[in-house]
């Protein structure tokens, strides 16, 4: 499946989750009604009308408890992935850490983020967990968090850690995260009856001969019993939703890294080391068990959120036998694996010597080829990402990790080459953030960003994103206002600069209010004819100086998305500013319609089948704004 098919599958899974939730609620309500009927039968004085009223009341109260519980838990998670990580006891990984295990983790995640075409997620470590495990949490890539246990950092070598992180990134890219975080809220509501019963038993006083206390005790025990029914339903829902997507994530990780040794090695260590994947000290591991890389609580059979460990290993290494796990266990009892030592012994080090293509290079691509690459990186992309990261000048890497310098760095990426436009941008920055920031922004553009390779601009922004969103909300709102002013200075801003600024704005807004940006699009392309025409016209115009060539490029794109429509080529007079009204409509499209739009933009950018480096970066940026991230390279090696 490609990215758009994964998105459609995730949307269907979300619908299935709602259906399963409704069925679970019906089952719990029926159990409550049975308990009420038994209580009524024990009292001879109740009339049929009174019994019916009591049943209706009990059903309404039960539904209200479940619904309010789910809404409360979902509201408590509106902060997104960071909220989940903190509730699990995660500790943020510093930007400039000297811990070699954390440094290796950051390097691996940076490379995979750039290869995937998404912002660098925040990193957390579950410091007190000796088991090998990890999870990704959030509503969208812009608020994603990747958390790993200290046991994973200590036991896994670089290839194995890379396989685990690639597995988690597949959840980020395929829409699994938003499904998983909703699942937490849904299951909390189902378990509300058990929580209420447990709290009554913990804090109630049932001594003496008080008949009322006895009735409360019985009610609490009934609530606990019904709660276990809710637990049964909850575990069944998690197993049904999670298991197949875990196997899919394994397969995606293998395609990404193009080697099975790393991921298989991580799974073998889970089966062979004493601590396995168990979480002993993290918050409520039961609540997030469906999100973990490995089974963190020991469920099996119908309730297992993950396929059997041996099945996962054999899917990657068919020759592996069950008895080999016992052999590995015996070996690691006496000498537990040490990831860093294995790296040194196997020669697994950070860095890559691959060269970036020259600025004048061209790629031969086709719309179906680009569609297949959306959010679907391969090993070539990982190697290219490694090269991009290692060749970004160290001073720029330092600026990207500095809270004081990250804002002028991002603004510098958006400054126009035209002096008159840049002067207006300088004025906008000074008016909002102060003259000192404006001067520093100009200096960065002139002195450090002028020689930056076109392929390094988006990755540099991706690396800076976690630091940028650490700023307080009032400051971020001011930064958003400044970004908007800079990219909207006038119609002379280039399409690339406009789209990059818009991409940064969208990502920051999503990170500020992640729960507000979680909907899967449902609109068909027929509802976005005008918007599709505007985007294609501007992209075609930006890539061709000759109006006749631009017209042909526009028609090539239109043929891909609206083959039976006759929409005139009419670039809007306001230029890129016309795109302000385009993005909300295009982002509301369903997966199939977005696929058609990506094919159309690709056809317009390279209607002759050849795309330059600058055109490729424009395509990547436009796709990023439409939430269809592209890897850093369009050609396949």
By the 8 A CB rule, do 241 and 16 touch? yes
Tokens representing 314 are: 């054999």
User: What does the alpha-carbon distance between residue 521 and residue 519 come to, in Å, rounded to a whole number?
Assistant: 6
Number of Cβ within 10 Å of residue 20's Cβ equals 20
Question: What Cα–Cα distance (Å) separates residue 251 from each residue in 144, 247, 254, 350?
Answer: 21, 6, 5, 24
Residue 273, helix vs strand vs coil? coil
Considering just the CA atoms, what is the radius of gyration of the chain in Å? 27
Residue of 111, 129, 160, 168 with catalytic role: 168
Tokens representing 420 are: 């008159």
The residue behind tokens 């194995």 is 160
Phi, psi of 239 (to 5 degrees): -65, -40
Please name which of 467, 504, 457 lies closest in space to residue 484, comparing C-alpha atoms: 504
Is residue 287 annotated as a catalytic residue, yes or no? no
Number of Cβ within 10 Å of residue 218's Cβ equals 13
Please name which of 566, 446, 428 lies closest in space to residue 493, comparing C-alpha atoms: 428
Question: What Cα–Cα distance (Å) separates residue 59 from each residue in 67, 189, 225, 288?
Answer: 12, 15, 17, 29
User: What does the alpha-carbon distance between residue 486 and residue 15 come to, in Å, rounded to a whole number?
Assistant: 41
In sequence order, the β-bridge partners of residue 91 are 125
List, by residue number, the catalytic residues.
168
């Amino acid at each position: 499946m490609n990215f758009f098919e994964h998105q459609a599958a995730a949307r269907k899974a979300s619908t299935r989750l709602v259906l399963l939730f409704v069925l679970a609620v019906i089952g719990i309500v029926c159990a409550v009604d049975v308990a009420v009927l038994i209580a009524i039968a024990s009292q001879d004085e109740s009339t049929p009308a009174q019994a019916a009223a009591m049943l209706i009341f009990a059903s309404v109260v039960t539904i209200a408890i479940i619904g309010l519980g789910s809404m409360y838990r979902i509201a408590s998670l509106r902060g997104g992935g960071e909220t989940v990580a903190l509730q699990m006891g995660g500790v943020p990984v510093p930007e400039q850490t000297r811990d070699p295990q954390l440094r290796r983790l950051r390097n691996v995640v940076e490379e995979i983020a750039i290869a995937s075409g998404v912002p660098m997620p925040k990193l957390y470590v579950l410091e007190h967990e000796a088991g090998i495990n990890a999870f990704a949490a959030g509503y969208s890539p812009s608020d994603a968090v990747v958390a790993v246990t200290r046991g994973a950092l200590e036991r896994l070598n670089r290839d194995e850690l890379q396989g685990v992180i690639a597995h988690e990134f597949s959840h980020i890219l395929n829409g699994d995260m938003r499904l998983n975080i909703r699942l937490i809220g849904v299951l909390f509501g189902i378990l509300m009856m058990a929580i209420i019963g447990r709290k009554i038993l913990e804090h109630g006083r049932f001594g003496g001969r008080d008949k009322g206390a006895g009735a409360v005790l019985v009610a609490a025990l009934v609530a606990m019993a019904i709660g276990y029914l809710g637990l049964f339903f909850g575990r069944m829902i998690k197993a049904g939703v999670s298991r197949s997507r875990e196997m899919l994530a394994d397969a995606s990780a293998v395609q990404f890294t193009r080697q099975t040794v790393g991921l298989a090695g991580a799974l073998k260590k889970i089966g062979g080391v004493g601590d396995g994947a168990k979480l002993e000290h993290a918050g409520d591991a039961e609540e997030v068990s469906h999100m973990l890389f490995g089974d963190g609580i020991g469920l099996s059979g119908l309730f297992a959120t993950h396929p059997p460990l041996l099945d996962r290993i054999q899917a990657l290494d068919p020759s592996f036998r069950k008895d080999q796990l016992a052999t590995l266990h015996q070996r690691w009892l006496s000498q537990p694996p040490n990831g860093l030592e294995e790296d040194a012994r196997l020669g697994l080090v950070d860095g890559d010597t691959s060269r970036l293509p020259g600025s004048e290079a061209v790629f031969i691509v086709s719309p179906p080829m680009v569609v297949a690459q959306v959010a679907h990186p391969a090993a070539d992309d990982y190697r290219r990402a490694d090269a991009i990261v290692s060749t970004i000048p160290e001073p720029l890497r330092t600026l990207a990790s500095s809270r004081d310098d990250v804002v002028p760095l991002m603004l510098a990426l958006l400054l126009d080459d035209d002096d008159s436009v840049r002067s207006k941008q300088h004025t906008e920055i000074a008016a909002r953030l102060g003259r000192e920031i404006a001067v520093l922004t100009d200096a960065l553009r002139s002195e450090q960003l002028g020689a930056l390779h076109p392929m390094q601009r988006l990755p540099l922004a991706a690396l800076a994103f976690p630091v940028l969103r650490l700023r307080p909300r009032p400051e971020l709102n001011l930064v958003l206002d400044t970004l908007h002013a800079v990219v909207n200075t006038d119609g002379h801003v280039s399409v690339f600069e406009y789209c990059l600024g818009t991409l940064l704005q969208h990502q920051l807004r999503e990170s500020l209010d992640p729960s507000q940006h979680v909907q899967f699009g449902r609109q068909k392309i027929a509802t976005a004819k005008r918007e599709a025409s505007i985007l294609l016209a501007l992209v075609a115009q930006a890539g061709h100086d000759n109006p006749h060539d631009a017209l042909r490029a526009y028609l090539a794109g239109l043929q891909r998305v609206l083959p039976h429509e006759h929409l005139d080529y009419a670039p809007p007079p306001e230029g890129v500013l016309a795109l302000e009204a385009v993005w909300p409509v295009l982002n509301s499209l369903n997966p199939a319609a977005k696929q058609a739009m990506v094919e159309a933009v690709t056809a317009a950018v390279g209607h002759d089948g050849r795309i330059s480096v600058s055109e490729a970066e424009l395509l990547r940026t436009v796709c990023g704004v439409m939430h269809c991230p592209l890897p850093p390279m369009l050609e396949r090696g």
